[in-house]
Structure 1
């Protein structure tokens, strides 16, 4: 039996809206993935440390507050500080189209916007883990 994909879902900063991240978490769980949700109001450093501690394959960060261009550089910096290169970083929520390519250049593997269908999110996570290969 194949090992389950482990995903940590996080809300960073002061954004208090978590219905979307909870729906995505449930879809991933229903697809057979192990999902950990950190809850609201986490710092970038907290979510990276939790991702490392939980030995996840994927770190999914939902941002609706417009803080993505501040939060993701801090997340990437903390991943580098922790010497982590095999956790796939995904972003989601309300992120302007003009910021998507810049975030990908920084190291975010994929941006899944608020209107991305759940099956596309599941397929994207599976594809990225498959492309990364075994850890």
Structure 2
């Protein structure tokens, strides 16, 4: 929602997801906390999620952002599947970011499948927060729904 001054009146809603059998979620929780501390509404799906359950959360929560956290090496499969599901469900407007142990060559492939940006190990949370805020500024004038 936009105010008369052109700024967003509602906080950004972010879904942070852990797909597959990846049970290591410390990084996802750190990211979720940083986004919350920055004033965003964050829904953490928990571990062992399927692409379909993640997509349901994006739709049910009317999310602005999907953050995929992957440490298991299955990031290409899940990134491609979620990119496809976002398009099929008319949610290509969602900012789709990924993070975790993703090699640079895989980051390029993920971007071909709809991931907007990949944040690797050691990325300061402030970098992610600023990237998401920049996205919000760029789309704040575009009506949703």
Q: CA deviation at 1:73?
A: 1.1
- Is 1:105 equivalent to 2:112 in the alignment? yes
In structure 1, stretches of 5+ residues that fail to align are none
Q: How far, CA to CA, are the matches of 2:84 and 2:114 in structure 1?
A: 10
- Residue 62 of structure 1: aligned partner: 69
- Is 1:52 equivalent to 2:71 in the alignment? no
The root-mean-square deviation of aligned C-alpha atoms, in Å, is: 1.2
- Residue 18 of structure 1: aligned partner: 25
Q: CA deviation at 1:111?
A: 0.5
TM-score, normalising length from structure 1? 0.95
- Residue 76 of structure 1: aligned partner: 83
- List structure 1 runs of 4+ shifted beyond 3 angstroms: none
TM-score, normalising length from structure 2? 0.88
Between 125-134 and 55-64, the greater mean CA deviation after superposition = 125-134
Cα distance per residue 1:83-119 (max 9 Å; x no partner): 2221111100010011111211221011011211011
Q: How far, CA to CA, are the matches of 1:114 and 1:44 in structure 2?
A: 23
* The structure with more radius of gyration: 2
Q: Does the 8 A contact of 1:8 with 1:38 survive in 2?
A: yes
In structure 2, stretches of 5+ residues that fail to align are 1-7
Between 94-103 and 124-133, the greater mean CA deviation after superposition = 124-133
